[in-house]
Structure formats: structure tokens, C-alpha cells
Amino acid sequence: MTLEEMVDAHASDVRRYLYRRLTGLPDPASTADELTADVLVIAWRRRADIPADAELPWLYAVARRVLANYRRLPQEVLVADLGALDAIDEADPAEIVSDDAALADAWRSLSPRDREVLRLVAWEGLNGAQLATALGISEGGAAAALSRARSRFEESLAGVQGIPSA
């Protein structure tokens, strides 16, 4: 896949990924556009490092780092709670989750790492190998992280719903 084909195929996915994580900022759309451009510049510079058939997970890994660097910047605009539930529009799973108070409470109780693992699988549609690439860990490590995140979410959801755990 050429770089142009990769951009055509995945730029909107990368932008959506970033936008979801910028909820709470005054202009998340503009910021997502800027950060997406940064990710694509890095992809162009490091095009030889992009693994074949794992372009999107690789781009997500770069986007995670770009977003982490952005959040470290001393900006007044970053006073918003960036760990809040993410939403793009009514058809987005994030909107459905945020509309259910029990789900929202359970979601907020998770660590940022667990939320990211679950987002990458459920919202971004990554499989095990892709998740490993996006997180920069082995496939076994990714499978374990996903299993733990799912278990903690189930336990948290049971707790906020008042269901005794088994």
C-alpha cells in the first residue's frame, strides 16, 4: 500500500480516534484535524517503518503518542476533563454508553489504560494482533490486557448496578 492509499484508507479513522479522546475541549474538531495532520507527517517521515497489513494499528500507536505529547503541553484549553466519555454523534457507541448512567459510572471507574484497551477493540475494531501493534506490546500481552480490562469493566458494572459478583 502506498502512503497515499494509506492516507485515503485510514485518515478518517485516525481523526475519529483523536476526536473521541478530545471531548471536553472547546474545539475538538479543529484539534483533531491538527493532530491528524501531525500523525500523517510522522507516517510520511517513517514510511519505511510502517508494517504491511498493520497500517491502521501502527497509525493508532502514533496517534496515542501524538495525543500524549499534546496533553503535556501547558495550555489553558486543556483544563477540561479529557478522561470523560467520548462521543462523536448519535450513531457512535460512545453516545450510547454516555446515555446510560450505570455504564457511564462503570466506564469512569476504569483506569485510563483499561478504557483505551476497550476503546481500541470495541470502537476502533482492532483484533488481537492489531491491538498489540497499537499498544506496542506482544500479542499475548494484548490478549491479557484485554481480558483484564473486560473483567474489570464487568465487575465495575455489576457493582454500580448492585449485582453481587460471582
Q: Is the pLDDT confidence value at 36 over 90?
A: yes
In angstroms, the CA 34 to CA 12 distance is: 13
pLDDT (0 to 100) of residue 132: 92
Chain position carrying cell 484539534 = 31
Chain position carrying cell 494482533 = 129
Q: Is the pLDDT confidence value at 94 over 80?
A: no
DSSP secondary structure letter of residue 48: G
Q: For the residues 107-115, what does the mean pLDDT come to?
A: 89
pLDDT (0 to 100) of residue 2: 82
Q: Each residue of 135-144: pLDDT tens digit?
A: 999 999 999 9
1-84 CATH: 1.10.1740
- Reading the block at residue 99, the C-alpha cell is 446515555
CATH architecture of 87-166: Orthogonal Bundle (1.10)
In angstroms, the CA 151 to CA 154 distance is: 5
The domain ranges of the chain are 1-84, 87-166
Contact present, 7 and 40 (Cβ < 8 Å): yes
In angstroms, the CA 18 to CA 134 distance is: 14
Backbone angles phi, psi at 134, to 5 degrees: -65, -35
pLDDT (0 to 100) of residue 23: 79
Q: For the residues 104-124, what does the mean pLDDT come to?
A: 87
Angle at the Cα of 9 (from 51 to 35), degrees rounded to 5? 80
Q: For the residues 9-35, what does the mean pLDDT come to?
A: 89
pTM, whole model, 2 decimals?
Answer: 0.60
Q: Each residue of 50-86: pLDDT tens digit?
A: 998 899 999 999 999 999 888 876 654 343 333 443 4
DSSP 76-127: GGGGS-TTSPP-SSTTSHHHHHHH-HHHHHHHHHS-HHHHHHHHHHHTS---
Q: Is 135 helix (H, G, I), strand (E, B) or coil?
A: helix
pLDDT grade, residue 35 (50/70/90)?
very high
Q: Each residue of 39-52: pLDDT tens digit?
A: 999 999 998 999 98
Angle at the Cα of 60 (from 112 to 144), degrees rounded to 5? 55
pLDDT (0 to 100) of residue 92: 55
pLDDT (0 to 100) of residue 4: 86
pLDDT grade, residue 153 (50/70/90)?
confident
pLDDT (0 to 100) of residue 90: 42
